[in-house]
Amino acid sequence: EVQLVESGGDLVKPGGSLRLSCAASGFTFSTYGMNWVRQAPGKGLEWVSYTPSSASYTHHADSVKGRFTISRDNAKKSLYLQMNSLRAEDTAVYYCARDLGIKVGTITLDSWGQGTLVTVSS
Amino acid sequence: SYVLTQPPSLSVAPGQTARVTCGGSNVGSKSVRWYQQKPGQAPVLVVYDDNDRPSGIPERFSGSNSGNTATLTISRVEAGDEADYYCQVWDSSSDHVVFGGGTKLTVL
């Protein structure tokens, strides 16, 4: 069974930093692209970042570019999101999600964790 | 940047058919995914590649995509289908995943 378990969410002050982790199990982590998706309270889904299986490049949403960095450790079957210069509008539940990888040039989020809450407030 | 537009809400009686729309410029040229999210839960993929279903998703869920509109169709709606539904594409011009704003489906 595919399992994704996020951790690291916390209350942090504006301008602060936080590192989220996502532990994967039940599948060959090193062969799948991975994503972070967030959801502000009462709002819709917002894609944050993507890294392919090889971690050879990354993509980030414009709203977090230059502040957030996605990374992965295939040996540890783990995905990370380093978040710097946090703002109140970054307050959200952060989900890690696996890309099914069925077709080049598409992303299909077939498995999701339960999310971890990040609150940015003074 | 690419934009997907969904109606905020939709109400359907049990047993009827719900059609959730997702509008975008020439979205018919893209491959659309649909997710279901129930309160307090993570999203679940229900349709991908316009009209394919992951294992475990009932045949009542189907999709179509043409021109400027993609549609998720839920036949014989049940109380358990009440949820938020999101469409999603990959925008190759920006290398971004794009979600629609979501549609809250209420089963009357």
> Which residues 47-106 in chain B show a CB within 8 A of chain A?
48-49, 54, 84, 86, 88, 90, 92, 95-102
Q: Which residue of B has its CA nearest to A95?
A: B42
pLDDT at res. B10: 97
DSSP structural state of residue B50:
T
Q: Which residue of A has its CA nearest to B6?
A: A44
Cβ contacts from A onto B, under 8 A: 61
pLDDT at res. A102: 79
pLDDT at res. A101: 86
CA dist., res. A41 & res. B102, Å (int): 14
Beta carbons of A13 and A122 less than 8 angstroms apart? yes
Other beta carbons within 10 Å of A104: 5
Question: Does the beta-carbon distance from A45 to B92 stay under 8 Å?
Answer: no
Q: What is the pLDDT along chain A (122 residues), one digit of tens a residue?
A: 999 999 999 999 999 999 999 999 999 999 999 999 999 999 999 999 999 999 999 999 999 999 999 999 999 999 999 999 999 999 999 999 999 987 777 899 999 999 999 999 99
Tell me the pLDDT tens digit for each residue of B85-100: 999 999 999 999 999 9
Using an 8 Å CB-CB cutoff, list chain A residues near B90: 105-107
* Token pair for B38: 């129930």
Is the CB of A2 inside 8 Å of chain B's CB atoms? no
Cross-chain CB nearest to A44 (options B1, B90, B102) = B102
pLDDT at res. A104: 77
B39 pLDDT band, cuts 50/70/90, is very high
Q: Which residue of A has its CA nearest to B39?
A: A42
Compute φ and ψ for A83, nearest 5 degrees.
Answer: -115, 120
* Three-state SS at B51: coil
CA dist., res. A44 & res. A121, Å (int): 21
Alpha carbon dihedral B22, A110, A94, A40, in 10-degree steps, equals 20
